[in-house]
Structure 1
Amino acid sequence: MIKPKLKQRHLEIFRTVMATNSLTAAAKHLGVSQPNLSVAIKRLEDQLGISLFARISGRMIPTEEARLILTEVERVHQQSEMLSEAVYAIAKGKGTTFRFGATPSIGTRLVPKAVRQLQLKEAAATYYCDSLSQRDVRDYLLFGQGSCVATIATVEDPLIETVEIARSHLVCVVPEGHRLAARSSVSPRDIAGEPLISFAPATTHGIHIDETFRRWNVTRETSVFVHFAEAALSFAVEGIGVTILDAFSAMDCRSRGLVALPLENSVEITAYLHFYRLRPRPVAADALLSELRSIAASV
């Protein structure tokens, strides 16, 4: 014979009565009348075919069977609570591994600051940030290697969704003791003759820098070529020359003995977060976008 399934409400009532040892207190806690509570307990006893409580001197005294049942009810209740917490954690992006990519331009300053804020909010258990070159961004997203990619370059592909993080400009980074360090801004003409640490013309930085120089009718002459913004900063720290970067890459450069000066009449630099259109966006990706925007607003 198939036994009827126990109702969750009946087990909740049983657990509350066991905890209070009083129908009156249990009824008050559950927000029901005492007669209705008595009926519910009687129905549970009838369904189980045993007595759960003995009425002695006006008190509800649990039977041995009731105590054994309570042990099982508490075990299941704790598991249910843990399941509920786990489900909500997943819904909020917590307790998961969030994998995403970033190009070095904003992956060395802006992205770490955003991840730090996410850590403080426990937005995910583990972060996996892949450092990517611009040519790898499209395949990284299309083949599902990560949820999104932060970069200052656009991606021309109908399957890639692009969301703007923030806009900024180019800055000239010089050592603190440099002759230009006290200036509020500089132009390409001001740095003419300075050893320039810079990028190849076909790179994202190179294109933006050359466009800005053309506005001043100045030809860019590079003394030291580098591939990444971090390398450009490291060379500048050694006093090898000055460099021109997007403002996102130059964040907090004073901590390294450098000064970032706005480059006059600079082209606008936009930071983006790219997604694959045909894949649902995880909650953690939206959280990352929010933090990136918040931090970039101060640049």
Structure 2
Amino acid sequence: MARPRLKDRQIEVFRAVMATGSLTSASQQLGVSQPSVTMTIKRFEDELGTTLFERIGGRLVPTEEAKLILVEVERVYGQFDRLSEAISSIVAGDGARFRFGTTPSIGMRLIPKALKRMRDNHPARVFYCDFLAQKDVRDYLLFGQGACVTTIAKADDPTLETTIVARGKLVCLMPQTHALARLPSISPKMLAGETLISFAPETPHGKYIDATYARAGFERKIDVFVHFVEAAISFVAEEIGVSIVDEFSAMDCERMGLVAVPVEDSVEIPAYLYWCRFRPRSTAVEELIDTLKSLAS
């Protein structure tokens, strides 16, 4: 004997009748007429070859078979609900792994703030944050090591797509006790007599700084060369000298006893997020973009 192929509508009506104990109440809950509910139950019984409900003392009473069927129906519905939750979790990125990269300028302060907010929203998600040199960004994305990279360096590469997540300026970092620390802004000319901790001209920071110095008609004289922004910040904290960095790197510098004084007539410094154009952006990447833009606004 062939097994009956149950229909979703039959199960839905059966559950409603079992839950309400009444054809009338079930029809109201489902938003259909009572005759429609009665007909659906009758066809369901015919296909199953058994009686599901009996009239006893004017009340609709489920049979033992109906009770046992309901147990199985609820078990399957429970599994379906868990499946729906699992699919929704995957779409939302909860419980998944999100691996991305950043260069130190963005990664020092702005990324930790964004990561904290994203962790609060998705506590089950596992995050991997790789700190990269600028020269490694293309291969990191092209070979799928991470989903995206944040940096202040502009990359003209046909394999990469980009969006700007923040815009900043240059600031001069110095100890809070420095003679220039209380000024509202500072010009390159005013730093002429200071020990300058800075970056080579070919680096992203070096290019932004030289462009700003050019506006002021000055050239940099570097006393201490550094390659990474965290080194510049550490050297300033040791009172070796002052350093010009992007404002993203200088966020919360007061915790180290430093002051970030805006540099006059600074060029704009965009913060970029890159991803490989041959791969779709994940939900987590979209959330990182939105979070960074929100923090920078």
TM-score (normalizing by structure 2)? 0.94
Mapped to 2, the partners of 1:35 and 1:267 lie a distance apart of: 75
SS at match of 1:127: strand
Counterpart-to-counterpart distance in 2, 1:57 and 1:190: 99
Match of 1:242?
A: 242
Aligned-residue offset at 1:94: 2.7
The list of structure 1 runs, each at least 4 consecutive aligned residues, that deviate by more than 4 angstroms after superposition, is none
SS of structure 1 residue aligned to 2:235: helix
**2:154 partner letter:** T
Taking the aligned partners of 2:96 and 2:54, their CA distance within structure 1 comes to 49
Tell me the distance in 2 between the aligned counterparts of 1:285 and 1:65. Answer: 51
Give 1:135's aligned residue: 135
Shift of the alpha carbon at 1:3? Answer: 2.3
Aligned partner of 1:84 in structure 2 is: 84
Query: Which residues in structure 2 correspond to 1:23-34 (within 5 Å)?
Result: 23-34=23-34
C-alpha distance after superposition, 1:101-125 (max 9, x if no partner): 1111101111111122222332971
State the partner residue of 1:207.
Answer: 207
Aligned runs of 1:1-299 on 2, under 5 Å?
1-122=1-122, 125-297=125-297
Change (3 A) 1:170 1:124: farther
Secondary structure, aligned partner of 2:190: coil
Alpha-carbon deviation of 1:82?
1.3
CA contact (8 A) 1:99 1:128 kept: yes
- C-alpha displacement of 1:227: 2.3
Structure 1 spans left out of the alignment, 5+ residues: none
Contact 2:197 2:242 in 1 (8 A): yes
Alignment partners' CA distance in 2, 1:57 and 1:255? 79
Give the count of matched residue pairs: 297
Percent sequence identity is 57
Shift of 1:93: 2.8
Unaligned runs of 5+ in 2: none
TM-score calculated relative to the size of structure 1:
0.94
Matches of 2:145 and 2:2 in 1, distance apart? 49
SS at match of 2:295: helix
